[in-house]
Amino acid sequence: MILELKDICKDYIQGKMIVPVLKDVMFSMNEGEYVAIMGPSGSGKTTLMNIVGCLDKLTSGSFFLDGQDMSKCTDNQMSDIRLQKIGFVFQNFQLMPKESALENVALPLTYAGIPKKERKERAMEALSRVGLADRVNFKPTQLSGGQKQRVAIARAIVNRPKILLADEPTGALDSKSGEQVMELFQSLNDEGVSILMITHAPDIAEYAQRVVEIRDGILKEREAQTDR
């Protein structure tokens, strides 16, 4: 099991008010699975992703990542695990605007303490993997949206993570670029990377093996579907 969430609750404190956002979420994912999360805006998708990505702490419940109990981890241990096991892809790419594609992709390796020469080699390799070997020295402003997202995917996989977390990865892309991103996800998944992806778009969710729905902080497996 790559992910195991049991009775997860997450409240936000707003002044004196407690705002429950995730309500007793039960969710698990096998290693190598590809799961899509769908739900309306404000339903708690990003909040859930931030917890799974060790970017935020839960209020109650338990959360195991790759068999490890995350509620027992210190902040330092959490950031190590994040670095080693998780790759992130965001709707708006979140690239460093002044750095080249190569430097953007190499950044997580800097945090991981990898020596410079190896950083460059591995960043090159990851950029080739996403079909951008000829764009390594381009800055984000010199790239199309689809290319920016592919740089972001190269950055997400450069540490060879076990799981890829993607929050609306095609949300800012035209349909052709979105399709390319989905093809890339598919081939990463074929290589054994687990993928958890948030999306609004039913045609994007169809790429996943399994779809779960979240509404007002409550998560449900989607009913088994007949063929489209």
With beta carbons less than 8 A apart as the criterion, state whether 105 and 155 touch: yes
Distance of CA 154 to the CA centre of its chain: 12
DSSP category for residue 222: P
Q: Which helix (H) or strand (E) holds 13?
A: strand 3-14
Q: Which is nearer to ligand ADP, 56 or 125 (CB)?
A: 56
**Binding residue for ligand ADP, selected from 38, 47, 63, 147, defined by CB under 6 A:** 47
Residue 21 sits in the site that holds ligand ADP (CB under 6 A): yes
- Rounded to a whole number of angstroms, the minimum distance from the CB of residue 79 to ligand ADP is 20
Count of residues of this chain found to bind Mg ion when the rule CB under 5 A is applied: 2
Options 43-51, 82-90, 97-105, 137-145: segment touching ligand ADP (CB under 6 A): 43-51
Mapped to the 3 state alphabet, what secondary structure does 36-69 carry?
EEECCCCCCHHHHHHHHCCCCCCCEEEEEECCEE
Query: What tokens appear for 84 in the block?
Result: 């080693």
Q: Which is nearer to ligand ADP, 131 or 171 (CB)?
A: 171
Residue 12 sits in the site that holds ligand ADP (CB under 6 A): yes
Q: Phi and psi (nearest 5°) for 12?
A: -105, 145
Residue 42 sits in the site that holds ligand ADP (CB under 6 A): yes
Residue 202 binds which of ligand ADP, Mg ion, none (CB < 5-8 A, kind-dependent):
none
Residue 39 binds which of ligand ADP, Mg ion, none (CB < 5-8 A, kind-dependent):
ligand ADP
Residue 69: how many other CB atoms lie within 10 Å: 11
- Rounded to a whole number of angstroms, the minimum distance from the CB of residue 228 to ligand ADP is 25
Count of residues of this chain found to bind ligand ADP when the rule CB under 6 A is applied: 12
Residue 115: how many other CB atoms lie within 10 Å: 8
- Rounded to a whole number of angstroms, the minimum distance from the CB of residue 199 to ligand ADP is 11
With beta carbons less than 8 A apart as the criterion, state whether 53 and 86 touch: yes
Instruction: Return residues touching ligand ADP (CB under 6 A).
Output: 12, 14, 19, 21, 39, 41-47
Instruction: Return residues touching Mg ion (CB under 5 A).
Output: 45-46
